Structure 1
Amino acid sequence: MILSDSLVTLSLALAAEAAFGYPSRLYTRIGHPVTWIGHLIKGLDRGLNREGRSFGRRRAAGVLALLLLLAVTGAAAWMLQAALLPLGPIGLAILALLSGTLIAQRSLHEHVAAVSAGLRESGLDGGRRAVAMIVGRNPQSLDEAGVARAAIESLAENFSDGIVAPAFWLGLGGLPGAALYKATNTADSMIGHRTPRHEAFGWAAARFDDLVNLPASRLTALLVIAAAALHPGASARKAWQAVRRDAAHHRSPNAGWPEAAMAGALGLRLAGPRVYGDVRVEDRWMGDGRAEARAEDVDRALALYRTACALLFGLAVVMALAARFIAR
């Protein structure tokens, strides 16, 4: 697949996913590509992650599991793309629809908007129920401001992981690029944790996920800053300042970039000390604004997100047209 085709596929995939998302009826019947990848990861975890082995052998097994996961996922995506591209425009359209399943613009918006709606309609309990669907921290430890901040943080981080990153690798490497990224990111979310079972086995998945998310996290911050420049009441200047000052101090090498940009743009403080289960994490604050976030701030963050998604689509279209022009 030449670069111009992958960029056209990206443009069509972004538009189709934003318009239609992934139909719930289809999910009920056949699942989703991420759930299929998840089943493969579970099988590798059961088969290769033996608790009686040494730390070093379990880490080596985790490297092997990641390589097998990427080989299977990449081969399936490459064969599917190779079968569709010779079909011309129809094949390209089908490829774009399939690629769109690896991008989550619409579902992310719906999940975060549900937190705002929960806070407005059912108060703190409603907000906690909604935010529990998108964050790993203990919702009972959150007050109303904590719920709102958690929703905005999840929006910022998942904009990078769930939209910009798969879009970046789709534009660069077609369906195989996006599928390989999604397999890596899913592996990190399932086994890339510092728990007794996965600290060694999930090491490779966690480190590789950090690497492949690096370019997208920086691009996401730039998209949020650009979106802030277009929104009255948001500040592109403060978003840029927050990224430069705070992003590198986040415990994640990538999450700090979109979170700092969002915090600065909205005049908030995000991240900071949080509770996961019964464990308190003393993280640095992103941004130097107010910590007392409200449902209205979630709505403001969603408005920035929609604009940033539109900018991402525009960037994809411009790059596709430029690649077509150069290829002539």
Structure 2
Amino acid sequence: MLLGGGFLFVVALAIALDAIFGEPDWVWRRVPHPVVWFGAWIERFETRFNQPKTQSAQSGRLLGLLSLVFLVAAGGALSWVVQSLLLSFGVLGGVVLALLSSTLLAQKSLYLHVKAVEDPLACDDILAARKAVSMIVGRDPEKLDGAGVARASIESLAENFSDGIVAPIFWLALLGLPGLVIYKIINTADSMIGHKTERYLHFGWAAARLDDGVNLVPARLTMGLLLLSPFRSRVAEQEKTIARIWRGIAKDAPRHRSPNAGWPEAAMAGRLDIALSGPRYYGTEMVDEPFVNARGRRDVGAAEVDDALRLYRSSCLVQFMIIIAIALVSY
């Protein structure tokens, strides 16, 4: 660890604070969330430098790359100064640093968003379930039945466990607050401009490629956590062995539309013995994606979402214990 084993106690405290307190709305109603700041600066650069109707593809890619490099450099430098200042105050500074870092994690927030889908599904309130799932997925919820809503929420849980929790913690542990801030800038840029639309195809190219790169290792770590964490399904008809689930992951994950998202999705699908991904609507367009764990159950509902949340909680706890263990050994 570049910052030494002692810094991992800061990471562990950040994880604990996020798990307990989550996103304090009363704070963010008064002060913009850091991701809001990142998004505002990305939007400024995109508005100023992205002119797809007059730029060549090469110019668009170059300006998108330079914009992202500037934002990453500025965010990394500022966060390094903040971290250095706080660590100079010893334990108290470490606590404040952990508190700041926790604002860029999403354990409790992700759990609550998926739980908000499970609860109306359990009451057969498809309208409320669709509304809740629309907060965490990009596809058209009006075209989803109850099983589709459940699968969409479980897919989002698996993907966001990687992007919103494991990856930020990985980069925080490896490079400190600068690593965490740089990761969140890249990930936010990808979510805003990393789309293959006419406007963002070239300018957002660098954001999409960099996001793939910084998530390469965390996505596979997430898969490992979901695959190996203690868990027993309450509704699956049979419990697959870890070896059998791994064979399914190795086959299905590389076929996924994303180079990274398929790994946690395939692990989640295998542990729950359900099928995920598959064809879906984005707006009016049907995208024919292959299923992950295609032989798994497709008629799923609130019980499977509950299973997914229990596996998620177990994986979060295992991750926390691993951080503590490495900190104790390294300190």
Q: TM-score, normalised on structure 2?
A: 0.95
Please tell me the residue identity of whatever aligns with 1:206: A
The one-letter code of the counterpart of 1:78 is: W
- Root mean square deviation, CA, Å: 1.2
Q: SS at the partner of 1:31?
A: coil
Asked if the contact 1:272/1:282 (under 8 Å) is kept, the reply is yes
Say which of 267, 275, 287 aligns to 1:281. 287
| Matching residue of 2:27 | 26
Which amino acid is 2:308 matched to?
Answer: A
Q: State the one-letter code of the partner of 1:281.
A: V
Alignment-mate amino acid for residue 169 of structure 1: W
User: 2:278 is matched by which residue type in structure 1?
Assistant: G
Q: Secondary structure at the match of 2:259?
A: coil
Q: Distance in 1 between matches of 2:232 and 2:317?
A: 13
Find the aligned partners of 2:150 and 2:314 in 1 and give their Cα distance: 20
**Equivalent residue for 1:199?**
201
Query: Equivalent residue for 2:254?
Result: 248
Report if the CA contact (8 A) 1:7-1:172 is conserved: no
Write out aligned runs for 1:33-48 (5 A): 33-48=34-49
Whole-Å separation in 2 of the counterparts to 1:203 and 1:232: 40
Alignment of 1:177-326 (within 5 A): 177-227=179-229, 229-231=230-232, 233=234, 235=240, 237=242, 238-287=244-293, 288-324=295-331
Map 1:116-195 to 2 at 5 A.
Answer: 116-121=118-123, 123-195=125-197
Distance 1:6 1:41 in 2: 30
1:67 paired residue number: 69
Inter-partner Cα distance in structure 2 for 1:31 and 1:15? 22
SS of the residue corresponding to residue 23 of structure 2 reads coil
Q: How far apart in 2 are the matches of 1:59 and 1:153?
A: 31
Amino acid at match of 2:191: S
Q: Which amino acid aligns with 2:247?
A: Q
Q: Secondary structure at the match of 1:153?
A: helix
Deviation at 1:236, TM superposition (A): 5.2
For residue 37 of structure 1, what is the amino acid of its counterpart?
F
CA deviation vs aligned residue, 1:257-290 (integer Å, no higher than 9, x gap): 0000000000100001111111111111111201
Any gaps of 5 or more consecutive residues in structure 2?
Answer: none
- Post-superposition shift, 1:121? 3.3
Deviation at residue 26 of structure 1 after TM alignment:
0.6
Give the deviation of 1:319 after TM superposition. 1.0
SS at match of 1:30: coil
Q: What SS class does the counterpart of residue 104 from structure 2 fall into?
A: coil
Distance 2:269 2:231 in 1: 16
Distance 1:322 1:64 in 2: 41
Q: CA deviation at 1:303?
A: 0.3
Partner of 2:103: 101
Change in Cα spacing, 1:73 to 1:67, as seen in structure 2 (3 Å) is same
How big is each residue's C-alpha offset from its partner over 1:40-78, in whole Å with a ceiling of 9 and x where there is no partner? 100110111123211211111101111011011111111
Q: When you count helix as a share of all residues, which structure comes out higher? A: 1
2:36 alignment partner AA: T
1:8 is matched by which residue type in structure 2? F
Instruction: Tell me, yes or no, if the aligned pair for 2:233 and 2:307 is still in contact at 8 Å.
Output: no
Does structure 2 retain, via aligned residues, the 8 Å contact 1:235–1:266?
no
Q: 2:6 maps to what in 1?
A: 5
Task: Report SS of the residue matched to 2:215.
Answer: helix
Q: Does the residue aligned with 1:280 lie in a helix, a strand or coil?
A: strand
Give the drift of 1:232. Answer: 5.1
Q: What is the number of residues matched between the two proteins? A: 323
Deviates more, 1:146-155 or 1:68-77: 68-77
| CA distance, structure 1, for counterparts of residue 240 and residue 318 of structure 2 | 17
The CA distance in 1 between the partners of 2:329 and 2:41, in whole Å, is: 38
What corresponds to 2:16 in structure 1? 15
Contact kept in structure 2, 1:152 and 1:298, CA below 8 Å: yes
Unaligned runs of 5+ in 1: none
Q: Which amino acid aligns with 1:82?
A: S
| SS of structure 1 residue aligned to 2:171 | helix
Residues 99 and 34 of structure 1: is their aligned pair in 2 closer, same or farther, counting only changes over 3 Å? same
Q: Following the alignment from structure 1 to structure 2, what is the Cα–Cα distance between the partners of residues 137 and 118? A: 19
After TM superposition, the structure 1 stretch with the greater mean CA deviation from structure 2, 88-97 or 272-281, is: 272-281
